[in-house]
Amino acid sequence: MNDFARRRRQLLRMMGENAIAIIPSAPEKIRSRDTHFPFRQDSDFWYLTGFPEPEAVAVLVPGRKAAEYILFCREKDAEKETWHGRRAGQEGAIEIHGADDAFPIDDIDDILPGLMENRTRVYYTMGAHPEFDSRVIGWVKRLREQLRSDAGTPHEFVSLDPFLHDLRLYKSAGELKLMRRAAQISAAAHERAMRATRPGMMEWEIEAELLHEFRRHGGHPAYSSIVGGGANACILHYVDNDAELAAGDLLLVDAGCEYRNYASDISRTWPVNGKFTPEQRALYEIVLEAQLEAIDKVRAGEHWNAPHEAAVKVITRGLVKLGILEGRLPQLIRDGAYRRFYMHKTGHWLGLDVHDVGDYKVGEEWRVLEPGMVMTVEPGIYIAAGMKGVDAKWWNTGIRIEDDVAVTRGAPEVLTAECVKDPGEIEKLMAG
């Protein structure tokens, strides 16, 4: 049984009798006028179906003898396929994608109300696709009208998110394999970008190097690549990538590819001219130490926030040592004095989505890490120009180091380990 079938079976078991689950594919999105964004399948839909097309709806009906997994999808159409690409059709949905039964998507209004009959609980996540919400409500209404009564019609809508998103937090062996590949491609992309960097280049030229490496291995950017030199490195979500790179500045790159729908997410920071200044290196070494200490906390039994706490401690201590912060360490940590320089968290879950699903807390408590969970570890220090009380020699310095780390039964597995981050090694790579 493949991963998709296994997940559907888990969901069918969880739903119990008298229930039905409805999971729509992602809609196609207009980019401008009649041009679409490249299609990206909805992550939950993909997780359960592995079906790559838009205009599809998966329906799970536990205990239904004729078919428990029904896929509505586009019909085969020679002319449309000539213009827009291949379609699996209903036969493909069954033969290739494992549906028990399949119908044309255009027939869904006629068929779905009947499938809902005597199903009192509908597993459907409201709010994710607003246009689809009203169709689901329409099917319930139609069924009521057909039955002329409320008996045998759904009276409870339950979100699929808590169940699915908890499942998605634990990566299977197959998922980890894809994530290792995504990580490996991104690592190569960052190293390619380091080698290519020269003063006077435009940030977009570095972005092009990343893209080249992603695409030549079958990946796409998992999010808009951040390529920020000097002052731009201090803007956390900088994506303009349109400034000239100057000698003496640092370049912060946050870029990762998505490979077969699985994301990777790497940040590296390197000197535009290939050599760190003493100030840049001093700050860089603090971030690197914070990152290594944080990674060491990505272990089964530690709680979600342990890596962040480790990073905060190293960064605060480092900033005191350099004279950028003054005071006693425990007090500075308690007061959050580091937040002026380190204003984000140390990571997030990673998977089908770059900021992947899954709760970070259980009740009031931080979640305890378990094997199969994957997260990023990405501490940073950002000192923008003109920062009050900070010597000008530290200004315009933005540093982040980010790796993707899997929790295992033993030591943390750094999926992105192939990408250099030791400052000496970065200089060597850039010189070579």
Chain residues in the site for Mn ion (CB under 5 A): 254, 265, 376, 402
3-state helix, strand, coil in the chain (%, to 5): 40, 20, 40
Active-site annotation holder among 31, 34, 148, 328:
34
403 part of the interface to ligand GLY, by CB under 6 A: no
Active-site annotation holds for 402? yes
Active-site annotation holds for 220? no
Active-site annotation holds for 107? no
223 part of the interface to ligand GLY, by CB under 6 A: yes
CA distance 6 to 36: 33
Tell me the CB-side half-sphere exposure of residue 244, using CA atoms within 13 A. 4
Contacting residue, 265, 356, 403, 404, with ligand GLY by CB under 6 A: 265
- Listed in sequence order, the residues at least 6 apart from 324 whose beta carbon sits closer than 8 Å to its beta carbon are 341, 383, 390, 391, 394
Contacting residue, 191, 293, 378, 404, with ligand GLY by CB under 6 A: 378
The greatest distance separating any two alpha carbons of the chain, rounded to the nearest whole angstrom, comes to 79
User: Which listed option, ligand GLY, Mn ion, none, makes contact with residue 25 (CB within 5 to 8 Å by class)?
Assistant: none
CA distance 430 to 365: 44
Active-site annotation holder among 191, 268, 400, 404:
400
CA distance 134 to 169: 30
Active-site annotation holds for 44? no
Residue closer to ligand GLY by CB (options 15, 415) is 415
Residue closer to ligand GLY by CB (options 101, 353) is 353
Active-site annotation holds for 34? yes
CA distance 43 to 184: 22
218 backbone φψ class: left, alpha, beta (φ>0; ψ -120 to 50): left
**DSSP 8-state symbol, 342:** -
Contacting residue, 254, 293, 302, 353, with ligand GLY by CB under 6 A: 254
Instruction: Tell me, by CB under 6 A, how many residues bind ligand GLY.
Output: 7
User: Which listed option, Mn ion, ligand GLY, none, makes contact with residue 209 (CB within 5 to 8 Å by class)?
Assistant: none
356 part of the interface to ligand GLY, by CB under 6 A: no
Active-site annotation holds for 156? no
Active-site annotation holds for 84? no
> What single letter denotes the amino acid at residue 125?
T
Residue closer to ligand GLY by CB (options 73, 374) is 374
CA distance 47 to 4: 6
Q: How many helices (H) and strands (E) does the chain have?
A: 13, 21
**Which tokens belong to 344?**
């984000």
- Listed in sequence order, the residues at least 6 apart from 216 whose beta carbon sits closer than 8 Å to its beta carbon are none
User: Which listed option, ligand GLY, Mn ion, none, makes contact with residue 223 (CB within 5 to 8 Å by class)?
Assistant: ligand GLY
Active-site annotation holder among 135, 192, 281, 348:
348
Cite the active site residues: 34, 237, 254, 265, 344, 348, 355, 378, 382, 400, 402
Q: Give the residues lining the site for ligand GLY (CB under 6 A).
A: 223, 254, 265, 348, 354, 378, 402
